[in-house]
Copies of this chain bind each other. A is one copy, B any other.
């Protein structure tokens, strides 16, 4: 049996916590071969970013990746030392040593391939293998560049290794008990889910739920890796992310509420309304690897129009530097930004087959006096852009409106 376990940064934030995690791993290693994926200690990554930004406002991403990759290299070595102290044979590997080959896009490189030869060899020698999460290299060559996988990259490392090794279990240990119907920090009666399907988890993660990163869930879906999300210290059952099955029919068609306050809105005003302009803008953003979400274009008037869209707050400075030259090129008047907005979403595979959910959602928000700036939907999600100040009230009122506090069970058809 092979088990992949991932421990997040808060689980290894101090040498004491590293010892605690090591004990849990030692226990797991008594009945399985174990691969551990580890994040950087506590706020190590933030500290490294702060140093880079003290030197350069928009640091070169290749160098930033190399800088950030040290965080996981360090924590993996320390965790391995802790395992040695407990008498458990163990060895640490960097992403590159573990054979994780990625695209050469720095900052959010996708994994292209995993060559787990050394990893398998070390496992077969009876060792726990501790892999530095969040990182890979661009080619199978010693001179290859070091890349990082973006936010939540260690989750992606864990699922990719579980897939490559045909692992029996992939366990993501974190500082929460599992996946909740809403963020329990802002929703009083949020309920932990026993299971959730990949598709729903993807929508929740894509819309701000931080418990798992989208890329990891996507990989899990593609390779059929069942992912258990659980608390790294508390011994409570977590949430299993798996394929949707028939038993899931018997539950609330809305599975959870996500919210995201890391939203920046960019508005381009007096944009000439002719073909190709939108392409220029969104192509440049795509080239720079910036995801664009809610897009709204106003009705054209006198040959010019205004266009708004949202990006992740972390991408705002980069988006501006990408767009500035284009503004001049296309003859747009100016570019304004706002960081006072947030997104709130309802997610559930049931939405696809049950109409009427948009109605309930808008009604609940309206009843609470919350203004909706704009709306986007997917087959299993409805997202509203609202004022950041309204987020907590919005999440709680939607949770109440859809009765998400009630445990799953046979539900009567609507």
Q: Please give the residue numbers on chain A whose beta carbons come within 8 Å of chain B beta carbons, in ascending order.
A: 15, 18-19, 48, 51-52, 54-56, 59-60, 62-64, 66-67, 69-71, 73-74, 76-78, 80-82, 84-85, 91-94, 96-97, 99, 117-118, 137, 140-146
- Is the Cβ of A146 less than 8 Å from the Cβ of B51? no
Q: Select which of B52, B81, B143 is within 8 A of A59 by beta carbon.
A: B81
Residue of B nearest to A50 (CB): B15
Q: List 26 A-B contacts (CB under 8 A).
A: A15-B55, A19-B55, A52-B81, A56-B82, A56-B84, A56-B85, A59-B81, A60-B81, A60-B84, A62-B91, A63-B77, A63-B81, A63-B84, A63-B91, A64-B77, A66-B76, A66-B94, A67-B74, A70-B70, A70-B74, A93-B143, A97-B144, A97-B145, A118-B143, A142-B142, A142-B144
Chain B hits for A64, CB < 8 A: 77, 81
Closest to A137 in B: B142
A81 touching B94, Cβ below 8 Å? no
Copies of this chain, whole number: 2
Q: Which residues of B contact A52 (CB under 8 A)?
A: 77-78, 81
B146 pairs with A55, CB closer than 8 A: no
- A63-B91 Cα distance, complex, nearest whole Å: 8
Contact B74 A48 (CB under 8 A): yes
**How many angstroms between the C-alpha atoms of A15 and B51 in the bound complex?**
7
Q: Given A54-B15, A73-B69, A142-B141, does the pair A80, B99 have CB atoms closer than 8 Å? A: no
Q: How far is the CA of A142 from the CA of B143 in the complex (A)?
A: 9
**Chain B residues within an 8 Å CB radius of A59:** 81, 84
Contact, CB under 8 Å: B63 / A99: no
Closest to A145 in B: B97
A99 contacts which of B15, B67, B97, B143 (Cβ < 8 Å)? B143
Q: Which residues of B contact A54 (CB under 8 A)?
A: 15
| Complex alpha-carbon distance, A80 and B76, angstroms | 25
CA of A208 to CA of B380, assembled, Å: 70
| Bound: A82/B97 CA distance, A | 29
- Please report the C-alpha to C-alpha distance between residue A224 and residue B140 in the assembled complex, in whole angstroms: 35
Which B residues lie within 8 Å of A56 (CB)? Answer: 81-82, 84-85
Rounded to whole Å, the gap between the CB of A62 and the closest CB of chain B is 8
A97 to B78 CA separation, bound complex (whole angstroms): 23
